[in-house]
Structure 1
């Protein structure tokens, strides 16, 4: 029995999709019974968040009770800030469960998890327990919030990791970034890489593979992203303006207004946050997907989901996106002319949709990721503890 812990973000994004997909995979492909215990930043007061950060978690008894009620032998923990904290994992262990800690980003050291500074630049100033640069730069909110996160990460991150029997990262790049930040990681044999999956690639027995969708070369470019500084959406706007290519943007976030102003006079359509059905329609109408991130991406789920829809992808050579190699077109970070030229080339490549779908199947199909997740749960259940 698996109990999933997750504190959902105020603005939903790729991590929530990744958690949902892993829950589905454990149930449908591994035959695990799975229950969830979730909290939500949208329903958490600032006072409760502050107390949770300072104390290393709130209401750990709720977690222990859930372990006993469900009979969970493994707790699979995702984002734990601000109210679960290390105390949730300690309570799970005391209740008899093994613990899997899934690190989707760099939040063990970086308050915002993206290792991007307020000016939108790649940043590794915070290192290990020295989180003072994040406070000085006000990476996270105002002075009070920045101080809370800096203090909490310095105080509790090592203790959080110490509660885990197994640590999971989504890519080799994510692991390398955590090591570069001096994150308190366990020994290498306790760290597993589990790729994010694309559920639409699932094919039950007897169900034929779908035909590769055809792409109209005059279709728009598509960006699916949270509208935040680290995502580089303004680069896609500028590149498509330069290339004379219409652009569709799906997503919401703090830069929505500023990006709309930047796109004034260009052929750019903003759809805001869209549901799965609407997103599928946008991908079906597009000719190329752009992932112009400035951040050291820990996986690049938007790129894999676009490949799975038969969309060629042009992406910034950052973080885990580099691991996609020849399956996508990589351009230097911040290089608008290169992004514009690669966008035009990808739209004109008639064979790109078939290659995109094949790449997604090789990398993110459920049958590819399921053995990775099975190995994690087996390792957790086999873990021994001192005393």
Structure 2
């Protein structure tokens, strides 16, 4: 069978981030592999809150999928088509998936979070993971005002409850970026038999030629400065063992974190948000990368980028961090002494840093290469089109 053609669909978030990057990398991989594709895209930023609410409750709006399929089939007449969707809300919803089936197109839904049943997607409340909402049971989102506004929380809760089973019924295969994510989406009712792990990939040129961690000058945190990232833990650990810390990122927690660093007399430099080139330069001179997260992420790109830079990690054992970085790099979430001890062990031993950095590079190349990613996607598409 010839290679398929692919419609990639994504509703961009008002605050864009990792999902938008994942979509861009998928399109780049398809392009380089010579696989015809079309992008069906909507932007939440183009919708008013009232428009978004109406679309949510309706299960999405009318899409131009039929026209797009005709265009793609004209370009690739001998190829069958797969719909690979990412975020569906609010503009697409289950209507897009059902439209694909009506046109004889199998569907893949890639889950980057728990938005199928969680009004805020991240299932995080009161600084701890939350599992109150599952499947069609979404009332806790209203009780706890998860979207701050009681009315907006009610709209999301009602829409998710109304369309949960409808969405599941219109998806042929679910894709998640880690084994942790697969286990987590199973807990909210996503069928494990229809769920496949396809790890993110690192684009060509992302991996350093060699690790420079043995000559590193500081520990590095690169993250949004918000409570769930646990950056307070990194500042306290660095202050306790005398390690210089560079914090790259912006967010609402910055003033509090700066005051904490000053109160501890920590050697801590806040550099704000930096671009990709500047961040790569910071990693090239880092002795280690710190991931003190409290929030169990599905597969943070920052962890992959630390591997690609050949920087050893000190991380908490939450979410997919042990899966990506290796369990030896992770310590129990609530054991701040263990976090500081691993940091100190790396800081005082340049040879260990160099060895762990080279091992991280090898892991990046073997586990997160583009060829492996494409092979997984092609196997999935081939199965659906067989």
Q: Name the TM tier (shorter chain).
A: 0.7 to 0.9
Could you list the per-position Cα deviations for residues 121-170 of structure 1 after superposition, in whole angstroms to 9, with x for gaps in the alignment? 12212122111122212222321221122111111122112211221111
Measure how far apart 1:337 and its partner are.
2.4
Tell me what 1:205 maps to.
none
Could you list the per-position Cα deviations for residues 150-202 of structure 1 after superposition, in whole angstroms to 9, with x for gaps in the alignment? 11111112211221122111112111111223x2x2460x3211001111457
- Aligned partners of 1:252 and 1:161: how far apart in 2? 37
Measure how far apart 1:27 and its partner are.
2.2
- Aligned partners of 2:224 and 2:83: how far apart in 1? 29
Tell me what 1:385 maps to.
none
Tell me what 2:41 maps to.
38
Could you list the per-position Cα deviations for residues 97-142 of structure 1 after superposition, in whole angstroms to 9, with x for gaps in the alignment? 221110111111222222211x111221212211112221222232
Measure how far apart 1:11 and its partner are.
2.6
Quote the RMSD (CA, aligned, Å). Answer: 2.3
TM-aligned CA distance change 1:340 to 1:42, over 3 Å: farther
Tell me what 2:278 maps to.
278
Could you list the per-position Cα deviations for residues 8-43 of structure 1 after superposition, in whole angstroms to 9, with x for gaps in the alignment? 2233322222222222222223x2112212222333
Tell me what 1:132 maps to.
139
Could you list the per-position Cα deviations for residues 212-262 of structure 1 after superposition, in whole angstroms to 9, with x for gaps in the alignment? 132255522222223333322222222223232222233334434444444
Tell me what 2:178 maps to.
171
Contact 1:8 1:41 in 2 (8 A): yes
TM-aligned CA distance change 1:41 to 1:243, over 3 Å: farther
* 1:355 aligned counterpart, secondary structure: helix
- Identify which of 150, 154, 176 aligns with 1:143: 150
* 1:197 aligned counterpart, secondary structure: coil
5 Å-filtered alignment, 1:1-387, equals 1-29=5-33, 31-58=34-61, 60-71=62-73, 73-117=81-125, 119-181=126-188, 183=189, 185-186=190-191, 188=193, 190-200=194-204, 211-217=209-215, 219-264=217-262, 266-324=266-324, 326=326, 328-347=328-347, 348=349, 349=352, 350-382=354-386
Contact 1:109 1:131 in 2 (8 A): yes
Max Rg structure: 2
TM-aligned CA distance change 1:381 to 1:141, over 3 Å: farther
- Aligned partners of 2:325 and 2:63: how far apart in 1? 46
Contact 2:98 2:170 in 1 (8 A): yes
How many residues are matched? 370
Tell me what 2:76 maps to.
none
- Aligned partners of 1:263 and 1:57: how far apart in 2? 47
- Aligned partners of 1:80 and 1:240: how far apart in 2? 41
Contact 1:101 1:164 in 2 (8 A): yes
TM-score for the superposition, normalised by structure 1 = 0.88
Deviates more, 1:249-258 or 1:36-45: 249-258
Contact 2:128 2:294 in 1 (8 A): yes
* 1:83 aligned counterpart, secondary structure: coil
Contact 2:213 2:312 in 1 (8 A): no
TM-aligned CA distance change 1:44 to 1:249, over 3 Å: farther
TM-aligned CA distance change 1:44 to 1:232, over 3 Å: farther
Unaligned runs of 5+ in 2: 74-79
* 1:61 aligned counterpart, secondary structure: coil
Measure how far apart 1:363 and its partner are.
1.5
- Aligned partners of 1:128 and 1:165: how far apart in 2? 18
Deviates more, 1:159-168 or 1:259-268: 259-268
Unaligned runs of 5+ in 1: 203-208, 383-387
TM-aligned CA distance change 1:94 to 1:275, over 3 Å: farther
TM-aligned CA distance change 1:210 to 1:107, over 3 Å: closer
